[in-house]
Structure 1
Amino acid sequence: MKKTLFTAIILSAFSLCSFSLLNAQFDLSGVIWDQDEIICKEQESAIAHFQTPSYRNQFASLTDIHYQTMSWEIDPAVKYIKGVITYYFRSRSNNLTQLVLDLSNSLVINSVERKGVPLSYAHSADQLLTIDLDKTLNEDDFDTLTVSYEGTPPSNGFGSFETGTHAGAPILWTLSEPYGNRDWWPGKQDLIDKIDSMDIYITTPLDQLAASNGKLISINEVGGKLVHHWRHRHPICAYLVALAVTNYAAFDQYVPLPNGDSIHVLNYVYPETLAQSQQAISSTIDIMNFYNEKFIIYPWADEKYGHAQFGWGGGQEHQTMAFMGGFSFSLISHEMAHQWFGDKVTCGSWHDIWLNEGFATYLAGLCLEEFSQNQYWPQWKTSTSNSAMSAPGGSVYVDDTTSVNRIFSGRLSYNKGAYVLHMLRWVMGDNDFFQAVRNYLNGAGDFGTTPEFESYLENESGLDLHEFLADWYYGQGFPSYHLQWSQQADSLIITLGQTQSDPSVSFFEMPVPILVRLNGVDNIFVLNHTTNNQRFSIFRGSASVDSIGIDPELWLLSKNNTIEQVITAVDDADKSDRFDVFPNPAHDFVQIISTKSVFSVEVIDVAGRKFKAPLANNRVDLTEFNPGIYTLLLLDGNQKILTTKRIILS
């Protein structure tokens, strides 16, 4: 039986001190700006590679690619490719007579053969290569064929097959997410099937190194050229297959494992920036150690992780070897995070892109929590939540998968997606949340969807998360909380209401943390907010409330919150007493008109903070206060409240 989502929680005398240490060796300056830049670059690339639904391979689900050998001849000084690919595949249907692959019309087919016997094919205008099999396959039958091709891949701006230079040296690289692999090799670009295993052979000029997926098996000189053999024995999406060729300088790192083994990290960088790159990439070991401990061991530990520098300003999470335009802390942590979320478990549809990008964004934030909680982690939460709430609507769920701008929305898929994960962590608690994520990584298989992810969260925590995801994943917007409080006898009385930025959600049911300062001591109380204008009573004894704040550690998405003290202690023995203040709205001061003497004035802001205001000749000096809404407490000589007045300061 599932527990209900929101159990009542009260945490008193909660210490707000940080507990992580800043690792001084990391250059974390600019990490918040870096995150925005990473998102922009990834969106630019996706826009360049996106294709309309009419050009998608409707036959991809009919076959399952088990193994490929991929042989390419590359000269980085020339934008051209010659390739031979052998496919070993299984039929997923009865009466299969064709294999249909995606391939740009810019590339020319030299031959299609099955064990040396030519096969007929058609390379159509809709960029599909349709190969006629020489026999009919039934479900679970296996077959093999080989395609030989060559040509100049098309130019797409932020293209999937590009050339450039660095310090006068030529470089060539690929970047295929989401639909770019057809521009340089024939395959299936879908979220249905992964290539289970592959061997890659890249032939280059003698002075070049070729980066690719998997483990480097050998580099051999053959006929005056170098043949680089890479082997990958794990399932991989077509868009994550990659190569980069230039005069790289290579260096190694090793990440220790608890069993005494280690993970090989192979870095291919420009020789002219070798020293700088070695320093910048030094954070890789600490970040991977953190991910290994927080989640599961790096999925491709038996092969390698690595970085290959390339001529584009962002990064791309190619499986086992991220392609990097630079080596900032944010970019390293973001692209590495994708090895778990996006590569090992890939979103099962573009509706679920947050399972790739929301996780990578959140993990980059978790690195800041781990290594610099006092400084950059609060900045990350502020920046990420501000982005998510920069417009009143929008869901994490992608309703229009024909719009690349919507799929790769930095505000929704990246930042709001990351913050939904942060709120799930708050609702579930650290132990259940991170264990559920580990279970998801271990159990989801090649592809994951949001309903599947929800099941892992619910099974671990015992919570019913249907309402949470209805509000925060499928629903749009965010709440604005409105808190009123008063001190009555020995209790603090709080009334908590909310309004919603978008009508798709009628009420956000959440545990809301409240910071209450009692006699100079900070306390956290968690209010189980299940209905609007809900009333809570908190025992305070003889302690006085100094101030109240909503969500001090930024666990929630909420904006434009208000706090108001409701005064109940006014001495109303003489109801004929008259008190007025003017002007209202005011600018620098207000004047008090009263039938009783006012000895002092206290000012309470919308956050519940209380301040003294200078008073002379019934004139209250407000020059030190920012524009906003304030409550004035007019006090007599015994510091009893005579009355309260609400003013607007412009």
Structure 2
Amino acid sequence: MRKRIIAAAASAVLLLLAVPASAAAPAPTPGAPGVGDPYYPTYGNGGYHVSHYDLRLKYQPTTDFLEGTATLLATTTQALSRFNLDFALDVQEVRVNGRLAEFAFSGEQELEVTPARPLAKGEAVTVVVRYSGTPSKVKRYGFDAWLRTPDGGVAADEPEMAWWWFPSNDHPLDKATFDVSVLVPDGTQAISNGELVSTSSKLGWTRYNWRENKPQATYLATLAVGRFDLSTGTATAAGIPVVNAYSKDLGDNDGAARASVERTGELVDWLSGVFGPYPFSTVGGYVPNVPTRYALETQTRVFYSPKQFAKGSNTSVVVHELAHQWYGDSVSLESWRDIWLNEGFATYAQWLWSEHEGEGTAQELADYVYASHPADDPFWQVEPGDPGADDPFAAAVYDRGAVAVQQLRGAVGDEKFFKILKAWPTEHRYGNGTIAQFQALAERISGQKLGPLFQTWLYTKGKPALPGQAKLAVAQPRSWAQIEESNRAEHGGAQRWSAASQ
């Protein structure tokens, strides 16, 4: 028996020696400083996946000073000697799996972390970053995304926002759950995503604990600190809690803002009939006292500028941002080139709401957009399926993008069209998607080849030919002014970063 054991051991050694070098575990290497997005290649990072962010923050509104400890739970996707986080505030300490790690900044937003020992592929990793700073004093790519308000500050922007308040893997491909705990002076409120789990007060400070338990892209994480009225007493027909918040300093816009945002539950119920069951456990919005004009689909807690309500109530913008909870939040884009999957469908939801309200059908709105732009209008030079990094939020992505959706509806018929609208957020729930995948789904459900339609309306410069409509004089639908104002403010606000960020 002993001889057999010795012989077996010798054979095992010979087998190990015979293993080719190529089969050995790869040596640890630095993770990529970006995910390789075709528009923003340095955004996000390679080599790991984050499953959860735990953010424990303290914020002083009078000075705009933020202190934080971010704990990231991650898993490596390669053997790592170093990895990057996207961040812009000052860092005091980084620990990886409990051990102090070296760190340094490079580029505009790269925090390079070198752990005390290399990390193996598939290893569970806990990263703790202690940091502080004044977000409104930080500029990257020539701009500051943090919104300073008279009573605090707001984090709500795209495609980048996280850098100004927490370290992250900042790309929609790496979605995670969130716990956000914020300590603020008594009399001040902190708003974030998901459910308000608890609050507590001590020695003049109040802590707000928020939890988003479904995967969330980092740019959809939001924070607002200021003097707010919280409204928590309503729910959708399906029992989804509605949590809204309004700055106490909205002035003349206060009534119109509340008259619009307080309809959130009703509008979620209606949108659920269009897109399928609402994908998250809470819903709502907040209206801070900011000077901007845009709104943003921050997950479960939509950000609205008070200027969206300067001309009166505006349910159309609420519909647009709530539609994103299906198209953009639950199903996020795979790269920023796929932005049509967000904005084309959120705009089309406004058209469907107009149809529902008797203020103009989706077809009438499509005809109006088509007739309003002559063939030589630069509007037709933007390809909604690939608008380019300089202006991915161009008006054509919204309006021509919604016309493309209407063209799909006309081609496949209402029955199959509305099946497609529900199937996309069902089949890709909490994940990511591309335009090519959406086209494949539409072809499978409709039984039609839709390549020419997608090519014409999403990927071809110039005004597509529509026989019999080129010279039509089309009356403006009643809903158009509000739809145009809402979306012009949104994509106009986004243009502040587009040229500077690359």
Other structure's SS at 1:456 match: helix
Q: Given the superposition, is the C-alpha separation of residues 322 and 159 from structure 1 closer, same or farther in structure 2, using an over 3 Å criterion?
A: farther
Q: Given the superposition, is the C-alpha separation of residues 145 and 339 from structure 1 closer, same or farther in structure 2, using an over 3 Å criterion?
A: same
Q: Aligned pair 1:264/2:241, yes or no?
A: yes
Residue 345 of structure 2 corresponds to which residue in structure 1? 359
What amino acid is aligned across from residue 46 of structure 2 in structure 1? S
Residue 36 of structure 1 corresponds to which residue in structure 2? none
Q: Aligned pair 1:279/2:259, yes or no?
A: yes
Return the alpha-carbon distance in structure 1 between the equivalents of residues 161 and 373 of structure 2: 29
Return the alpha-carbon distance in structure 2 between the equivalents of residues 351 and 307 of structure 1: 28
Using the TM superposition, give the Cα deviation of residue 89 of structure 1 relative to its aligned residue in structure 2, in angstroms.
0.3
2:433 aligns with one of 439, 448, 453: 448
Residue 29 of structure 2 corresponds to which residue in structure 1? none
Q: Given the superposition, is the C-alpha separation of residues 140 and 151 from structure 1 closer, same or farther in structure 2, using an over 3 Å criterion?
A: same
What amino acid is aligned across from residue 560 of structure 1 in structure 2? K
Q: Aligned pair 1:560/2:454, yes or no?
A: no
2:286 aligns with one of 284, 300, 307: 307
Q: Given the superposition, is the C-alpha separation of residues 477 and 467 from structure 1 closer, same or farther in structure 2, using an over 3 Å criterion?
A: same
Residue 102 of structure 1 corresponds to which residue in structure 2? 86
Residue 421 of structure 1 corresponds to which residue in structure 2? 405
Cα deviation 1:513-532 (Å, max 9, x = unaligned): xxxxxxxxxxxxxxxxxxxx
Using the TM superposition, give the Cα deviation of residue 61 of structure 1 relative to its aligned residue in structure 2, in angstroms.
2.9
Other structure's SS at 2:60 match: coil
Q: Given the superposition, is the C-alpha separation of residues 276 and 473 from structure 1 closer, same or farther in structure 2, using an over 3 Å criterion?
A: closer
Q: Aligned pair 1:224/2:204, yes or no?
A: yes
What amino acid is aligned across from residue 96 of structure 2 in structure 1? R
Which has more strand, going by share of residues?
A: 1
Tell me how many residue pairs correspond in the alignment. Answer: 421
Q: Given the superposition, is the C-alpha separation of residues 59 and 229 from structure 1 closer, same or farther in structure 2, using an over 3 Å criterion?
A: closer
C-alpha contact (below 8 Å) 2:64/2:152 kept by paired residues? no
C-alpha contact (below 8 Å) 1:173/1:310 kept by paired residues? no
Residue 318 of structure 1 corresponds to which residue in structure 2? 298
Unmatched 5+ stretches in structure 2: 1-36, 474-502
Q: Given the superposition, is the C-alpha separation of residues 463 and 146 from structure 1 closer, same or farther in structure 2, using an over 3 Å criterion?
A: same
Name the larger-Rg structure: 1
Q: Aligned pair 1:333/2:313, yes or no?
A: no
Using the TM superposition, give the Cα deviation of residue 126 of structure 1 relative to its aligned residue in structure 2, in angstroms.
3.7
Return the alpha-carbon distance in structure 2 between the equivalents of residues 125 and 61 of structure 1: 16
Return the alpha-carbon distance in structure 1 between the equivalents of residues 42 and 167 of structure 2: 12
Return the alpha-carbon distance in structure 2 between the equivalents of residues 400 and 278 of structure 1: 36
Using the TM superposition, give the Cα deviation of residue 297 of structure 1 relative to its aligned residue in structure 2, in angstroms.
1.5
1:238 aligns with one of 218, 242, 259: 218
Other structure's SS at 1:74 match: strand
Residue 381 of structure 2 corresponds to which residue in structure 1? 393
RMSD: 2.6
Return the alpha-carbon distance in structure 2 between the equivalents of residues 386 and 191 of structure 1: 35
Q: Given the superposition, is the C-alpha separation of residues 421 and 379 from structure 1 closer, same or farther in structure 2, using an over 3 Å criterion?
A: closer
Cα deviation 1:113-144 (Å, max 9, x = unaligned): 23543111112244311111233333322111
C-alpha contact (below 8 Å) 1:67/1:87 kept by paired residues? yes
Return the alpha-carbon distance in structure 1 between the equivalents of residues 319 and 70 of structure 2: 33
Using the TM superposition, give the Cα deviation of residue 151 of structure 1 relative to its aligned residue in structure 2, in angstroms.
1.0
Other structure's SS at 2:129 match: strand
Q: Given the superposition, is the C-alpha separation of residues 59 and 241 from structure 1 closer, same or farther in structure 2, using an over 3 Å criterion?
A: closer
Q: Given the superposition, is the C-alpha separation of residues 272 and 87 from structure 1 closer, same or farther in structure 2, using an over 3 Å criterion?
A: closer
C-alpha contact (below 8 Å) 2:57/2:66 kept by paired residues? yes
C-alpha contact (below 8 Å) 2:285/2:304 kept by paired residues? no
Residue 115 of structure 2 corresponds to which residue in structure 1? 133
Return the alpha-carbon distance in structure 2 between the equivalents of residues 175 and 262 of structure 1: 27
Which has more helix, going by share of residues?
A: 2
Return the alpha-carbon distance in structure 1 between the equivalents of residues 464 and 319 of structure 2: 31
What amino acid is aligned across from residue 215 of structure 1 in structure 2? E
Cα deviation 1:163-195 (Å, max 9, x = unaligned): 122xxxx13111231123213321122232112
Q: Aligned pair 1:63/2:36, yes or no?
A: no
Cα deviation 1:409-428 (Å, max 9, x = unaligned): 112x1111111001101111
Equivalent residues in 2 for 1:186-225 (5 A)?
A: 186-195=167-176, 197-225=177-205
TM norm structure 2 = 0.78
Q: Aligned pair 1:178/2:155, yes or no?
A: no
Equivalent residues in 2 for 1:106-117 (5 A)?
A: 107-117=89-99
C-alpha contact (below 8 Å) 2:244/2:262 kept by paired residues? no
C-alpha contact (below 8 Å) 2:99/2:116 kept by paired residues? no
What amino acid is aligned across from residue 341 of structure 1 in structure 2? Y
Unmatched 5+ stretches in structure 1: 1-51, 482-497, 499-549, 551-557, 563-650
